[in-house]
A = this chain, B = another copy of it.
Amino acid sequence: MESLSVALDGRSYPIHIGEGLLDQRSLYAPYGRGAAAVVTNAIVAPLYLARVRAALEACGARVVEVVIEDGEQAKGLATLDRVIDALLAARLGRDGLIVALGGGVVGDLAGFAAAVYQRGVAFLQLPTTLLAQVDSSVGGKTAINHARGKNMIGAFHQPCAVITDVATLDTLPDRQLRAGLAEVIKHGVALDAAFVDWLEVNMAALLARKREALVYAIRRSCELKAAIVAQDERESGVRALLNLGHTFGHAIETATGFGPWLHGEAVAAGMVMAARLSARAGMLPPRDAERIQALIARAGLPTRAPKLAAERWRELIAVDKKSAGGRVRFVLLEAMGRATLKAGVDERLVEETIAAAQ
C-alpha cells in the first residue's frame, strides 16, 4: 500500500492506494464508528457493497445503504432529494459518516450530500473507477448538475480520507478505463511533461491493465493534483489549471444531455481543442498539439467534438464557471506540461478551433 497526503491546514487527509484495501478495516476505523451511510449505485452495489458493509460493521458502525441509479443523469437535484430523504429516514445525525462507493457521479453527489446534509457531515471516498481514483475523489470538489450546466450546484467539502483499491479496476469496462485515462493524460499535459513522456511509453501497459503501471499512474496523478489543491483549495488561482479541456468538455456534455459522452471522453476532445486553440494563439508549437492528440487517440479516446450550432457553443462556453466579469477565460498551454489561465482569447480563434474540431 502507498499513502500520500493532501496538505490542508487542520484538514489534511490521506490517500491510500493498493490492492484489496476495501476489506482493510484498520483503514476505516478512524472514521466509521457511529452511523455510516454508504452511497453507491446499482452497478457497483452487487460487486463491492457487502465487503464495505462488513468492514464498517467490524469497526462497530451502524450501516445504512443508499443505492442510486447509474450514470450522469443521476447527478441532479432529484437524486439529491432522495439521498437526503434516505439519510433522514435512517436518522443519520450530524456525527454520522457518508461513504461514497463508486465513480465520479457517486463521489460528487454523495460528497455534495455530505456538504449540505444538516450543514455538513464527514465523508469518506472509496473510488472504484479510474477517473474517480485519479481525479474526482481528490480535492474536495463536490457538485451536482443543473439543466443549464454541469456541476453548477456544489461545494468544497474535503473527505476525511480516500481509500483506493486498484483491484476494483478489474471490473471496470474498457470504455470507463479509457475515460479515466483522459484525466491522467490531463495531469501530465497540464502540469508535468516528464509524465507525458512516461504515458507515451506506458499507454499500452495501462490499456492492458498492468497493475504496476496503473498504480504508478494513479499515484503520480494524485501527487500532481494534491500539490495544486494544497496551494489553492478553493480555486481562486492555480487550481483552475486542472480544468484543462473542461470548458469545451462541459459544453459537449451539456449539449448532448449528460450521458452519450462520458465525462472523460468529453474532456479528451476538449483537451485536443484547448491544445489546438493554444497553437492557433501562437502559444504552443503545433507539433505539441499533435503529440497530445496522438496520445489521446492511442488511449482510444475521442479527439473530435460533436456537431453543434455556433450559437449553441457560444452560449455553453459563456456559462462556464471560469468566466470572470462576463469574460470567458480558457485554460491553455504555453508548453507541454505547463498550462495557464488566459482571458481575452480572440473569439475568431475559438470559432476556428470549434469549426476544425467538428
- Which residues of A line the B interface, CB within 8 A? 34-35, 77, 80-81, 84-85, 88-89, 91, 93-95, 112, 115-120, 141, 143, 146-149, 152-156, 234-235, 318-319, 321-326
Q: In chain B, what residue has the closest Cβ to A235?
A: B119
Bound form: Cα–Cα A85–B152 in Å: 10
By a CB distance below 8 angstroms, the chain B residues around A141 are: 119
By a CB distance below 8 angstroms, the chain B residues around A95 are: 324-325
Candidates B94, B143, B318; contact of A119 at CB < 8 Å: B143
Bound form: Cα–Cα A94–B321 in Å: 6
Are A323 and B84 in contact (CB-based, < 8 A)?
A: no
Closest approach, in angstroms, between the C-beta of A76 and any C-beta of chain B?
A: 9
Are A88 and B146 in contact (CB-based, < 8 A)?
A: yes
Bound form: Cα–Cα A141–B120 in Å: 11
Are B118 and A35 in contact (CB-based, < 8 A)?
A: no
Are B325 and A155 in contact (CB-based, < 8 A)?
A: no
Copies of this chain? 2
Are A155 and B115 in contact (CB-based, < 8 A)?
A: yes
Closest approach, in angstroms, between the C-beta of A317 and any C-beta of chain B?
A: 11
Bound form: Cα–Cα A88–B115 in Å: 22
Bound form: Cα–Cα A264–B245 in Å: 50
By a CB distance below 8 angstroms, the chain B residues around A88 are: 146, 148-149, 152, 319
Are B148 and A85 in contact (CB-based, < 8 A)?
A: yes
Are B146 and A326 in contact (CB-based, < 8 A)?
A: no
By a CB distance below 8 angstroms, the chain B residues around A325 are: 34, 93, 95
Bound form: Cα–Cα A91–B84 in Å: 29
Bound form: Cα–Cα A115–B119 in Å: 11
Bound form: Cα–Cα A81–B149 in Å: 12
Are B154 and A84 in contact (CB-based, < 8 A)?
A: no
Closest approach, in angstroms, between the C-beta of A80 and any C-beta of chain B?
A: 8
21 inter-chain pairs at a CB distance below 8 angstroms, sorted by A residue, are A34-B325, A77-B77, A84-B153, A88-B146, A89-B148, A93-B321, A93-B324, A112-B116, A116-B116, A116-B153, A116-B154, A116-B155, A117-B152, A118-B152, A118-B321, A119-B154, A119-B155, A119-B234, A119-B235, A120-B156, A155-B155
